[in-house]
Structure 1
Amino acid sequence: MQIGVTFPQTEIGADPQVIRDYAQAVEGMGYQHVLIYDHVLGADPTHRPGWTGYTHTEMFHEPFVLFGYLAALTQLELVTGVIILPQRQTALVAKQAAEVDVLSGGKFRLGIGVGWNPVEYEALGTDFSTRGRVVEEQIELLRQLWSKEVVTFKGRYHTVTEAGLSPLPVHRSIPVWIGGSSDSALRRAARIADGWFPLGGRMIRCVP
């Protein structure tokens, strides 16, 4: 059994030295991975009666940037739990994930989900209503971009014509885990993911 910690996104603050000390203390205590969750924007609840999600006053460090920092400081496995994949550009996520994987010596696991917050989707110019359909195509394209030097891909939502990433991930693959507790998330994880975890819960590796 591998035991890790969840990075205290909203509590730790913005001091780089505090973040460094936290990560190195976690590693020194014998934990094996650090999991970081993702929100790009928080909503101002002033004109949103009944809003129960994160707000603009709560801090979230950007996971890929933070992992680049942590990769230089620790040997911990780096895990996202989760990147809200459909609100991000797929090729850019592939590039950022590959870079983190290289900098960490192949110790990166990409946990992804579809999210719940239409405010972020609107601000990032993406379609909240299609996120479930988009994410499956994204996972397929990510795996191709990580495994091949040159990719040609034509899907419903993505087109790549004779292009590729460099550097590629250490093992030319990155584990993709799906987070979520809905029936659709469970079915999707069983079909196409390398692992699954209910958000806030334990992680379960998917096996053929």
Structure 2
Amino acid sequence: MRLGAIFPQTEIGADPSAVKDFAQAAEGLGYDHILVFDHVLGADQTKRTGWDRPYNKDDMFHEPFVMFGYLGAITEKIEFTTGVLILGQRQTSLVAKQAAEVDVLTGGRLRLGIGIGWNEVEYEALGQSFTNRGRRSEEQIELLRLLWTQESVDFNGKYHKVTNAGINPLPVQRPIPIWLGGG
């Protein structure tokens, strides 16, 4: 059995020493991975009538790839997992590049947990369609795997196009493990 620790983003705050202490304690206790949640924006609940979602503008969420870059430098073996990265609101090639870079810098310690999300506020602000997020995410997974395993990709999907291009560096894990999640 493998056990992970959920990073308490909304509780731990922005103090780098608290972040470091948590990660090093989790590794010292023998946890296999640290899971980090993903939200780019929070709604202003004071200006949205009836907002009853679990997170809002007052809840702090560290950006997962940036967080993992930091955690990778201060730990040695614990793995890193997004739980979940809202894939449909992000640019696929950029996610491929960011994930590959984290995987390289951590020596292959990344697992990419992805989902389609529930927060229309984030999709709107990031310029992505909320209604087709599931279909787009399916195509994104296909493109991610190609970008992580091939030096040059030629892909022409319904939502994405990459013409004879690739990311560099490629990840240590080819492909990076993808976990699907939702709630």
Could you tell me how far 1:49 is from its partner in structure 2? 1.9
Which residue number corresponds to residue 73 of structure 1?
74
1:170-203 alpha-carbon deviations (Å, 9 max, x no partner): 13210011002xxxxxxxxxxxxxxxxxx4xxxx
Query: Which gives a bigger RCO, structure 1 or 2 (Cα 8 Å, sep 6+)?
Result: 2
2:141 to 139, 142, 161: 139
Cα distance in 2, alignment partners of residues 61 and 134 from structure 1:
25
Could you tell me how far 1:62 is from its partner in structure 2? 0.4
Q: TM-score, normalised by structure 2?
A: 0.97
1:126 to 112, 125, 128: 128
The secondary structure found in structure 2 opposite 1:11 is helix
Q: Is residue 52 from structure 1 mapped to residue 52 from structure 2 by the alignment?
A: yes
Amino acid at match of 2:34: V
Which residue number corresponds to residue 170 of structure 1?
172
Q: Is residue 156 from structure 1 mapped to residue 158 from structure 2 by the alignment?
A: yes
Which residue number corresponds to residue 63 of structure 1?
64
Cα distance in 1, alignment partners of residues 135 and 58 from structure 2:
31
Cα distance in 2, alignment partners of residues 144 and 56 from structure 1:
35
Question: For structure 2, which runs of at least 5 residues remain unmatched after alignment?
Answer: none
Cα distance in 2, alignment partners of residues 59 and 137 from structure 1:
30
Which residue number corresponds to residue 33 of structure 1?
33
Cα distance in 1, alignment partners of residues 12 and 6 from structure 2:
12
Could you tell me how far 1:47 is from its partner in structure 2? 2.5
Amino acid at match of 2:25: A
The secondary structure found in structure 1 opposite 2:10 is coil
Cα distance in 1, alignment partners of residues 112 and 131 from structure 2:
23
| CA root-mean-square deviation | 0.8
1:46-77 alpha-carbon deviations (Å, 9 max, x no partner): 22222122111110000000000000111210
The secondary structure found in structure 1 opposite 2:131 is helix
Which residue number corresponds to residue 104 of structure 1?
106
Cα distance in 2, alignment partners of residues 132 and 58 from structure 1:
26
Q: How does 1:15-34 map to 2 (within 5 A)?
A: 15-34=15-34
The secondary structure found in structure 2 opposite 1:110 is strand
Could you tell me how far 1:144 is from its partner in structure 2? 0.1
Cα distance in 2, alignment partners of residues 171 and 9 from structure 1:
27
Amino acid at match of 1:14: A
% same residue: 66
Which residue number corresponds to residue 193 of structure 1?
none
Could you tell me how far 1:146 is from its partner in structure 2? 0.1
Alignment: residue pair count? 181
